[in-house]
Amino acid sequence: MFAYTGLVQRVVVSDWLVLVIAAPLLAALYSAWSAWTDDDERLDQAKIDASVRRVCLFGQLAGIAALGWQVQSIGLGGFATQHVLRLVRVGQLDASIDLALDATSAAMALAVLAVGAVFFGTRERVGARVATAGSVAVAGALLAVMADGAVAAMIGATAASLALVATSPRERPRVAPRLSDVALAGGIAVLFWLQGGAWGDERYVPDLGTPRVVAVTGAEATEDGDDGPAVHIDATGQITKRSDTQGKHASPSGRATLRFDALPGATLFLDESRTPLADKSGAPLRAPMADVSIPAGRHALRIHAGGGLDDYVVGNVTFEDGAHVALVPLGPTLVYRHAVDQLGLASKQGGSAGDRLRGRGAAIVVAFLLLAISALLRAAHGSTDASGAALAPAAILAPAIVLVRFAPVMALSSGAQGAVALLGATSAAISATLATRAGAWRDLEQRLSIATAGAALAGAALGSRPAAIATLVTGMLGIAALAMTAGRRGGALGDKPVKDATSRTASALACAAISGAPAPVVAGTWAAAGDFAPAMSGTRPALAAACVAFGVVYAGLVSFAAWRAHHLGCAKGASEAHKKNARSDRALLALGALALALGAAIAFSPRLLGAEDDGPFAVLFGGTPKGGVAVAAAALVGFGAALGGWASARKRYGVERPASWAEQEARASAHSGHRFAAWIGDAPALTAELVARAFARFSSELDAHVFEFVPRAIAAVAGGIGWVGAEAERDLVLRFGARVVSARWTPSRRTIAAVVVTIAIVVIASFVMSARSAR
């Protein structure tokens, strides 16, 4: 009998996922070593730069190869995990650097590595500092997207941000990433506690009757996607539908298999055994572990997590012959998979983690708003200058995955979904509006990144995770490609246009990708409306209309901004430099094509991102079987808006644009709603700065006039004492007739020694006397 039933993610334990991140990190180490080399020992600087570039490029390509190998080994619908490093285990909080590979992380990791590869591939020379920082940024972004928990993702995101800053030390860093860190910390703290337990007046009260680890049998998501449907267990623990995969685990000798992938490093003890479960060589098995053979029968499993924690016993687990049993943690966790898995588990009494969470709607709203703010602030980091501009989108959009991963928890609260969707959509719309008038590449990139992150958040909030991932991936690739082509020269838009045909083509492909990205979001949000609208009873038409309106506005504006950048940044007419850099430009072309192809592939086959639905156009048309035509129409409207943006940008900024376009634009901006949008976009930051400054001034005044009063008074008293001391130090001269006696006392060395020795004697004597009195 199993107390809990439901669906959990099937996991394969891998030993090689870390290679994907290690490859660019090793390249970074090499670059750092090159930078460290003494001047005297240096080879020709150009040679060093070339070798650094090659090593870094090789690091990215090796990462792609490792990623491909791992994806191939687990299958497209599989899920692999690897424990790398334990970070902290305190009470219920367990954070490690664990890596996860599934379709979602694979798609995003591929995008990050592709950006990194093209960044290093398109440069003939790259300085060791930029190479080191660039490789670290890629590795950090990879950790952010491949982490199996929010804490590790946070570390990766920060590493990427800091590395990005280091690529261009002449630019002062923005405050936004640090604020993003704190918002993320706050968000995950709230999210952690709302998953179980409560703090009473005097002590922590755990969820009564809720175990920390439960055994679930057979009820797992499929391993590689073609093993048939998952098994479902009814309320009494009886298996109602068997998986085809179970036959693989059956053993004629009456054995079952066990999986335990929580609490990395923990060991398992079967029944009363004093030795942990071991592998064939006799070495203790440590979590994460999978497919551990257990004798069939009823067993108790003792989990020894170490780190000062109590052992935990999962009792009375029946291992049927050939059954596949998983130990699943319940309660507070920051591991995405565990947080999501427990939502699908229900106790025999019918209660589930989801039921508990539904009663904490306000906390869910707070948690996910903080996560959303964190993702937007991270995107607001933008690039610093041309050195890191190409890497910036990958580094700053990757952390948005934290919210996307936790989205199933958010789905329990319509308030949280609504709040995040509203925040994301508003941010996206405002940023896209501002992007249409961006005067410099740096601003354009920042605004496009915020718009992409906002759209992805809105998509995730409305239940369309594949659409959110599609948006992020195409945004990463497209904006990076645009930065490396039309924005290669940096500075003001249109100042130094790129003239070679290949760059122009790559730029156009990137713009197409960016323009196309909104289409899945439109459809995705519309698709999600089917689930979301019932929660807003009576408002479904309004919600649907809002989704479509947002999609149209967003698609049109982003498309316009991207194509405007293309037209201003690229001009016709090949240059000599182009001939020299033909090979690099082909790489750029490949990146632009990849941006388009990956976005299209995800849009046409959401199964790449782990979506349940399959078939062509599933993202566009799937998810709402009842309203297929309406969804298709909405998607086409969104796509039409993107086309409208393209046409408008071409007309305004194309080859035949007037020479005085900049002045005209400035005049138009002064009278349009653009200023209003700019004001809205800047208002939060300005308000925060204003409040912070006011608070800082208040604190300074408080310190100066209140808190420092005491030390000042003391200083005055000390001054008085000093005067008295000075007076006392004067020679005290006494005259007895002709005899003069000076009473000035200046301690001699002998006196000082005597004082110190006396103190020492007193201390030692105190010990000795105590010892003597004991006898």
Interaction with another protein in 695-714: which residues (CB under 8 A)?
695-700, 702-703, 706-708, 710-711, 714
The window from 157-165, 243-251, 547-555, 659-667 that contacts another protein (CB under 8 A) reads 157-165
Tokens in use for 717?
């008293």
The window from 153-161, 511-519, 657-665, 735-743 that contacts another protein (CB under 8 A) reads 153-161
| H/E stretch holding 215 | strand 213-217
Please check whether residue 568 is in contact with residue 497, taking contact to mean a CB–CB distance below 8 angstroms.
yes
Q: Is 131 helix (H, G, I), strand (E, B) or coil?
A: helix
The window from 44-52, 61-69, 527-535, 692-700 that contacts another protein (CB under 8 A) reads 692-700
33 near another protein, rule: CB under 8 A: no
The window from 6-14, 594-602, 660-668, 761-769 that contacts another protein (CB under 8 A) reads 761-769
328 near another protein, rule: CB under 8 A: no
Return the CA Rg of the chain: 32
Please check whether residue 266 is in contact with residue 303, taking contact to mean a CB–CB distance below 8 angstroms.
yes
193 near another protein, rule: CB under 8 A: yes
- For another protein, the binding residue among 719, 728, 729, 733 (CB under 8 A) is 719
761 near another protein, rule: CB under 8 A: no
103 vs 339, beta carbon nearer another protein: 339
Length of the chain: 775
- Binding to another protein (CB under 8 A) within 299-318 occurs at 305-310, 312
For 751, residues 6+ apart whose C-beta sits below 8 A from its C-beta are: none
381 near another protein, rule: CB under 8 A: no
Please check whether residue 332 is in contact with residue 306, taking contact to mean a CB–CB distance below 8 angstroms.
no
- For another protein, the binding residue among 53, 212, 249, 255 (CB under 8 A) is 212
- Binding to another protein (CB under 8 A) within 492-521 occurs at none
Q: From the CB of 770, what's the least distance to another protein, in Å?
A: 4
Q: What is the 3-state secondary structure (H, E, C) of 251-292?
A: ECCCEEEEEECCCCCCEEEECCCCCCCECCCCCECCCCEEEE
722 near another protein, rule: CB under 8 A: yes
Tokens in use for 336?
């995405």
Q: From the CB of 375, what's the least distance to another protein, in Å?
A: 15
DSSP state string for 589-630? HHHHHHHHHHHHHHHH-GGGGT-S--STTHHHHTT-GGGHHH
172 near another protein, rule: CB under 8 A: yes
The window from 43-51, 79-87, 510-518, 650-658 that contacts another protein (CB under 8 A) reads 79-87
The values of phi and psi at residue 234, to 5°, are -85, 180
775 near another protein, rule: CB under 8 A: yes
The window from 69-77, 102-110, 424-432, 745-753 that contacts another protein (CB under 8 A) reads 745-753
Q: Indicate the DSSP class of residue 189.
A: H
144 near another protein, rule: CB under 8 A: no
The window from 476-484, 553-561, 616-624, 766-774 that contacts another protein (CB under 8 A) reads 766-774
Strand positions, DSSP E, 362-477: none
- Binding to another protein (CB under 8 A) within 343-362 occurs at none
- For another protein, the binding residue among 29, 50, 175, 662 (CB under 8 A) is 175
Q: Do β-strands 255-260 and 232-233 pair in parallel, antiparallel, or remain unpaired?
A: unpaired
- Binding to another protein (CB under 8 A) within 81-110 occurs at 85-94
Q: How many Cβ atoms from other residues are within 10 Å of residue 68's Cβ?
A: 13
Q: From the CB of 319, what's the least distance to another protein, in Å?
A: 23
Site track for another protein across 516-555, x = CB under 8 A: ----------------------------------------
Q: Is 241 helix (H, G, I), strand (E, B) or coil?
A: strand
Report CA-CA distances (Å) from 661 to 39, 391, 430, 488, 568: 49, 30, 23, 21, 10
365 near another protein, rule: CB under 8 A: no
Q: From the CB of 355, what's the least distance to another protein, in Å?
A: 20
For 618, residues 6+ apart whose C-beta sits below 8 A from its C-beta are: 604, 605, 606, 607, 611
41 near another protein, rule: CB under 8 A: no
- Percent helix, strand and coil across the chain, each to the nearest 5: 60, 15, 25
The window from 49-57, 117-125, 147-155, 645-653 that contacts another protein (CB under 8 A) reads 147-155
Q: From the CB of 376, what's the least distance to another protein, in Å?
A: 15
Residue 517 carries which side chain, given as an amino acid letter?
A: A
| H/E stretch holding 318 | strand 312-319
Could you give the CA distance from residue 550 to residue 558 in angstroms, rounded to a whole number? 12
203 vs 735, beta carbon nearer another protein: 203
- Binding to another protein (CB under 8 A) within 437-456 occurs at none
Q: Indicate the DSSP class of residue 112.
A: H
Could you give the CA distance from residue 681 to residue 675 in angstroms, rounded to a whole number? 10
661 near another protein, rule: CB under 8 A: no
Q: From the CB of 156, what's the least distance to another protein, in Å?
A: 9
Could you give the CA distance from residue 405 to residue 408 in angstroms, rounded to a whole number? 8
Q: How many residues bind another protein (CB under 8 A)?
A: 89
729 near another protein, rule: CB under 8 A: no
676 vs 707, beta carbon nearer another protein: 707
Peptide bond into 252 cis (omega under 30): no
29 near another protein, rule: CB under 8 A: no
Could you give the CA distance from residue 740 to residue 507 in angstroms, rounded to a whole number? 99
The values of phi and psi at residue 742, to 5°, are -95, 130
Q: What residues pair up with 401 in beta bridges, in sequence order?
A: none
378 near another protein, rule: CB under 8 A: no
756 near another protein, rule: CB under 8 A: yes
The window from 39-47, 176-184, 554-562, 618-626 that contacts another protein (CB under 8 A) reads 176-184
- Binding to another protein (CB under 8 A) within 244-273 occurs at 263
